[in-house]
Amino acid sequence: MILHCVQDDNRYLMKPDVVGKQGAWFYTDAVKDHFFNPRNFLHGEPSEFDWNGRGQVGSPACGDMMYMWIKVDPATNRVADLKWKTFGCGSAIASTSMMSEIILRDGGMTLEAARKLRPQDVMAELGGLPARKFHCSVLADKALRDAINDYYFRSGQKEKVEVEAARMVDSVAKVTDHDIETAVLDGCDTLEKVQSRTKVGSGDPSCLAAAEELVRFYREKYFG
């Protein structure tokens, strides 16, 4: 795969020119389209966008950073507009771009529906991502939930703020991200060890990619 480093709005992005053959990393036409032509990207400053909810996840130190701003219509509880910026790879850019399109369709999702949108739903519309890049799609998901929480906090609806530790990862095996965090803190430094400890994926195998990303996230958070 040939990569070019391109400066865009003071961001340096690695852009793929050649799609790998079978067995290599493969990016669909939809992924490439959303990477080269990201929808709802904020080209200016946040002050230029009329937002009432802001989300932020990641760390510049580890290379992945996502900012998201939403404009919620309080009369309908729908996301009327959404903007984002990221310091991340092509998969993160494409995933966030596609997610923003999904959120804003048909007048905008309700906050309740937006919270239920999964990275797997975004990946399905993109036609998939390389397995090792699934974690990039989780970045936008986390930023969206953070922005929704921020909106509820700012609008005085604190009872609707969802604590991230209570988020269900495997709804069949009843494993939350807090369970995975605890397992990592107790020394489970691989997905296999976390599976043995929590049984995540035994009820819903489709959640394993998200579980693996959480293991990586908590391992880096606590152990560098």
From the candidates 62, 89, 188, 207, give the one annotated as an active-site residue: 62
Nearest CA among 67, 202, 191 for reference residue 134: 191
Q: What is the DSSP string of 38-104?
A: -TTB--S-GGGS--SEEEEEEEGGGTEEEEEEEEEETTTTEEEEEEEEEES-HHHHHHHHHHHHHHH
> Considering 89, 136, 188, 207, which one is annotated as catalytic?
136
5 tagged catalytic: no
Q: Give the angle 118-79-68 at the CA atoms, nearest 5°.
A: 70
Active site residue 207: no
Distance CA 186, CA 201 (A): 19
Query: Active-site residues: which are they?
Result: 62, 136
